Amino acid sequence: MKKLIVLCIAVISVFVLAACSESPTLTVYNGKSFKFSELQGKWVVINYWASWCKPCYKEIPALNVFYNDYKKKDVIVFGVSYDQVGLDELNNVIKKIGAKFPTLAEDPAPLLGLGNIPGLPATYVFNPKGKLVKTLLGLQTEASLVKAIGKS
């Protein structure tokens, strides 16, 4: 009987701890914050770029098209400035590179367990369950992004 009680307490503890674990909070540079778990049910594409990265500039138009074509199809795109500049400068850089998709105010890598960003541009693709399923390094096209999420 004691073993059964200990087992029940252990199982309940696991469920309580799982329910209490916090989903990472992400903030868009315009100040809107949300929990990563709120994006469940959507593909999430996180693209790292830098103001000095020429391939990053080249892929922004493809990311804009992908974002516009798929935002109503359960796909969200976020940009992340590798430069990690202040919000005023970030706003200027976003305008300069022409990004039309939301840009995060802070690097989400530590919160999402991405580790070190190995090079730029880098794109991380999370499935609708919130699991990282692809890491794409180098210049991406709309076709490569569509392939990464398995939509046509």
CB count within 10 Å of CB 41 equals 9
Provide the number of structural domains found in the chain: 1
* pLDDT tens readout for residues 31-79: 899 999 999 999 999 999 999 999 999 999 999 999 999 999 999 999 9
Domain assignment present for 45: yes
Measure the CA–CA gap between 99 and 64, rounded to whole angstroms.
Answer: 7
Measure the CA–CA gap between 121 and 123, rounded to whole angstroms.
Answer: 7
What's the chain's average pLDDT? 86
Cis peptide bond prior to 121, omega within 30° of 0: yes
The yes-or-no verdict on residue 99 having pLDDT over 90 is: yes
**Is 62 in contact with 138 (CB distance < 8 Å)?**
no
Q: Provide the pLDDT for residue 1.
A: 52
In sign, the C-alpha dihedral spanning 62, 67, 72, 78 is positive
Quote the domain boundaries for residue 129.
Answer: 23-149
* pLDDT tens readout for residues 106-120: 999 999 999 999 999
Domain assignment present for 92: yes
